[in-house]
Amino acid sequence: MSDIFAPRDSAKGPLWQRLIIAFPTRALLQFSRSQPLAAASAVVLVVLFLVALMPAQIATHHYDAFNVLNAKMGPSPDHWFGTDAQGRDIFSRIVYGARTSILISFGVVILSSITATLLGIISGYYGGYIDIVLQRFLDIWQAFPALIFLIFVVSIFPPGILTLVLALGAVFSASLARLTRSVVIDVRGRMFVEAARSCGASDARIMFRHILPNVVPFIIIMGAVTIGFVITAESSLSFLGLGVPPPYPSWGRMLQDAQLDMQQFPFIAFFPGCAIAITVYALNMLGDALRDVLDPRLRGSR
């Protein structure tokens, strides 16, 4: 009888068995039933991440291998998405371009989220003159045209992924900081913050121990949505010739290379455009689903 009611030690057994026990299968199934479109979007993004991690194993050709004799060939068993004006395999260039988009988008989101969280928490928690100074600084920052600033930065600094991450991170930090500030203002007036303050907790402890955990779900939601905007912005800069320098592929640069042959050979621009559209749509759908799941006000309304 004692063996029946004895607690089971889930830490024992092979590694694969412990992973299966710890994996939230029921929660994922419930999420898939309640948010089928978001679940499909998550699958698309997981496939995209795998492609970005292992482009050499997935691509059928080298991204810069060209053959002018095979230029502008339509989709075929040898070239699944056809070839571009220089005879390079479009499918392979899209696969390698996924790595560029993932590196830049995640770098921008991490940089802008950290900056926006610090500025938003400090501005929203202290208020007063600190809030006024920071908000006026953000007003000036947002009043400057983003496209002109991006063109200015990528023109004077060496082209590359780091330059794009810093420039785009600076652009997206201002709007995220304003949104984070509004969430902090709502959280700082709650009872648990007042209780921590009455117990003598320092400002740093209140901000990072009590307010920050309540801001993190919002940051996750905004980060998922921001990735889509970053991919669009990076593709736009690459289309203008200000993105990642050649020969390394980028989805936006592939569209730029295809603009002269777009009417006669539409497949050269169709597949890179589909890659951008599907990725951004999946990120937006997943961001909306995360908002429904993580926002307690929306959970209460349901």
Domain ranges (residues) in the chain: 98-301
**Mean of the pLDDT values across residues 214-240?**
82
> CA 280 from chain center: how many Å?
9
**Mean pLDDT taken over the chain:** 78
Q: What's the pLDDT at 27?
A: 61
Q: What's the pLDDT at 186?
A: 85
Residue 14 has pLDDT above 80, yes or no: no
The residue among 112, 96, 115 whose CA lies nearest residue 164 is 112
Q: Per mean pLDDT, which range of 24-28, 106-110, 150-154, 264-268 is the poorest?
A: 24-28
**Mean of the pLDDT values across residues 279-285?**
84
More confident position, 14 or 197: 197
32: confidence class by pLDDT, cuts 50, 70, 90: low
For the chain, what is the radius of gyration of the CA atoms? 24
Q: What's the pLDDT at 51?
A: 84
How far apart (Å, rounded) are the C-alpha atoms in residues 201 and 73? 68
The residue among 234, 93, 120 whose CA lies nearest residue 176 is 120
158: cis peptide before it, omega within 30°? no
252: confidence class by pLDDT, cuts 50, 70, 90: confident
- Say if CB 104 and CB 230 are below 8 A apart: yes
The percent of residues above 70 in pLDDT, for the chain, comes to 86
Q: What's the pLDDT at 31?
A: 61
Q: 98-301, which class in CATH?
A: mainly alpha
How far apart (Å, rounded) are the C-alpha atoms in residues 107 and 54? 19
Residue 52 has pLDDT above 60, yes or no: yes
Question: Does the CA dihedral 285-288-292-293 come out positive or negative?
Answer: positive
Residues in CB range of 233: below 8 A, 6 or more apart: 150, 168, 171
Highest mean pLDDT among 119-123, 231-235, 261-265: 119-123
